[in-house]
A and B are shown apart, each in its own frame.
Chain A
């Protein structure tokens, strides 16, 4: 593990940005060149990240591929990257989805191609950096850098109400993350008082003993930042707007990767840093997640707009992830991680599929999709398959995570009520998406 492979993976996309900067985009061939550069570089990143797959040793506890250099020594800030089982999968998901997304923009984005591809590649760097950094400051920097390209992707290449959606996305996320910065600094100084060591190193900060009040306060702020990103129930309102207005590529990245940062943040930062705070908020989070699951599914059911449907179904699915984390045992967390990855793949695929039709017919209304299986049988089959996976049908990838989460949630005690709850929910979810399939398959206009 001598080569700093995480750094390579994280910053390689920026190399593509450099190249793209010098390609003029006036002509069609220039645009194509930009697309190719972007495509090649992101595929290359994926290939490099496969190296991680082969070198990653699942039997080793703790972090691998560690890189650590001092960055801002006077504040104990380090350039500290590492990979564990969770981040590993999320990194692979990111590097896997990005080239696909870029491929999907080939004909979808025809205006301002250069700027778009730059935004995509910067976004990839920021996302990868967020997943691999183990220094709170470094993490925060990547976390914030992510905002601007996503904001631009929604705002410049989005639909009708793109500005509203973009600014809503930005403000929601900024409120949470700015407060988080204050709490990060607060935590660091409490750690400093306790041990005399000024550091932003996550692994050292895990050992901080905070007063209960501060645990609760800080967890509250962290949880707010991550809950907005997840998004959990009362903070979810930016998501449908952002999804609907974003171009297909934006939606895929948003649903596939950005939402996972919320759950990832809970698992990596909020919960282990402030266990007492987490325990204090557990009932609230569980209740909100359950509400999110049911509410998301129900609202999804009545959406005429397919993108909104998928967006609300994400609220529901991410509720599962949160419940899985708050089962607070190994299997629940495993389920949650599986659900994160699989949701990324399935929902990303759904958005891509929606994009396919949208690009041709410029409609997102489900009612107008009726009978699409006739002219586009292959499309419809794939749609069906993906929908099954999103529903959580056994033998698809969506099943295993949800099953684990539910099983261990029920097993955790006083199960009856929860079983009923979640049984209903599952059914709702299934209904809503099967309903969609029924529409697509059987309504022949």
Chain B
């Protein structure tokens, strides 16, 4: 048990929020580097900026993982904490950031967008996501959420001359603000009820029992959850997803579907398991014994999640079938993937949380990979994104098509890929808790999913080309990123135990340390 008080020292700040500090400093420095570089108007400076961004992510990743992982207890200063759970999710976010920045170099060049504020926005988006995952204070969570969201709104609108990009970004902004407002309102309510915004203290107050059945608390919980459902794109809060995902630059879409989602899922798990579940009862600390009462909360959110998981999987997978645009199809499929992950949260056991973490990791690899190939085959954004454009590309671009197939097979959840193992963990967790029916229905939606993923592959390999498609220039950085993702997927599909252990340790830190 660590100090929940608000002691403060610089060394502790560095220990807890070092990753964030690195990112902020990198962001601020890069703004000036960019100014200095762009004076000679050479397109090359985008490449430099991309590499510098990737490098700062890498440094932050190193800092968070290497010294961070060895900390055996949670360290809290005021609003931030560092525990293995937050570190794991941050690592996923940073990984998504590294992939995004490496592939963006090629993306910006192929689309002739020589504007390197892109990378600075990416940096701040990642910073916001990490700050969000690390915060133990609802207000800080909100602020970080906004930092992340605002950067991503701008990135979504980055294709200035593309109306779909503008439309998507506006939708994202309006609906996202709406979601944030829900979240903020939930914070206000729970503050009104319990007099605190610190999640562990809220749990303490709630566990005294008198508030548990109070409608105000329930409404607050619902508000907080709705706000996050927006970011997680859970049906029926998913309406913005397809338009935004289709309109945004391909790499940003991949980033939104992985990093933003990972952050939202991380917070969601944290909220549910720290604030609104009985899990703390197991930590064996006297003051939390009474939190058994909190089991009552699960009665409220479990049936809710049951239905949300089901309709999210169904709607995501079913609607994706009718999409002709591959990017839009992937948008719907990302809704379905969120549904699978909700399954793990619903299970609310060790395996479930571990499964969600594992799946976030695997999903980041395969999704960033898929969007990477998508932008390469595209040439220029929106040039060749439909199923029709993919006809017969398999033998024209064998490497890209093979990579695409691998990523899609992994998303479809077929062995021997990470997608299969991740899905196995999630479904196993749900089945362990007795959700056999939900798992059976869910796995049927996976069949639908497999259908439309394989449809892309059959367009690639089994149909004669219907029109000439010229893929964009395949840069070295993108290729490195794609091959790394592919190797990661295969490795995790065959030897998942290592990452699973790490994820398990990470999720245990939630239960044991808070």
Contacts and interface: CB of A to CB of B under 8 A. Distances in A.
Nearest to B414: A144
Contacts of A141: 415-416, 420
A39 to B, nearest CB: 23
A262 interface: no
Interface residues of A, number: 33
Q: Which residue among A178, A179, A189 has the maximum number of chain B CB atoms within 10 Å of its CB?
A: A178
Interface of A: 71-75, 112, 140-141, 144-145, 147-148, 151-152, 155-156, 162-163, 166-167, 170-171, 174-175, 178-179, 181-182, 185-186, 188-189, 221
Contacts of A179: 440, 443-444
B409 A145 contact: no
B135 to A, nearest CB: 30
15 contacts: A71-B497, A72-B496, A144-B415, A145-B415, A147-B414, A166-B458, A167-B458, A171-B447, A171-B451, A174-B450, A178-B444, A178-B446, A179-B440, A181-B424, A182-B440
Given A74-B497, A179-B443, A185 B427 contact: yes
Nearest to A70: B497
Given A174-B450, A178-B443, A179-B444, A148 B497 contact: no
B458 A182 contact: no
Nearest to A157: B462
Contacts of B455: 167
Contacts of B415: 140-141, 144-145
B447 A175 contact: yes
B463 A185 contact: no
Contacts of B491: none
Contact of A72 (B427, B447, B500): B500
**SS class of chain A's interface: helix, strand, loop or mixed?**
helix
A167 to B, nearest CB: 7
A155 B458 contact: yes
Contact of A112 (B395, B420, B497): B395
Q: Which residue among A141, A151, A167 has the maximum number of chain B CB atoms within 10 Å of its CB?
A: A141
Contact of A186 (B395, B436, B446, B497): B436
Given A75-B428, A144-B420, A182-B431, A151 B454 contact: yes
Given A163-B463, A182-B443, A189-B431, 11 more contacts: A112-B395, A145-B416, A156-B462, A174-B447, A174-B450, A175-B447, A178-B444, A179-B440, A182-B431, A182-B440, A186-B436
A413 B440 CA distance: 39
B107 interface: no
A333 B180 CA distance: 65
Interface in B211-234: none
A162 B458 CA distance: 11
A166 B454 CA distance: 11
A148 B462 contact: no
Nearest to B496: A72
A178 B317 CA distance: 15
Nearest to A142: B415
Contact of A178 (B431, B447, B500): B447
A339 B501 CA distance: 46
A141 B418 CA distance: 12
Nearest to B413: A178
A74 B451 contact: no
Interface string B99-111: 0000000000000
A170 B448 CA distance: 11
Contacts of A72: 496-497, 500
Contacts of B447: 171, 174-175, 178
A140 B461 CA distance: 26
Nearest to B493: A141
B344 to A, nearest CB: 13
Contacts of A73: 497
Contacts of B443: 178-179, 181-182
Contacts of A181: 424, 427, 443
Given A74-B497, A144-B415, A166 B462 contact: yes
B480 to A, nearest CB: 20
Contacts of A144: 414-415, 420
B346 to A, nearest CB: 15
Contacts of A182: 427, 431, 436, 439-440, 443
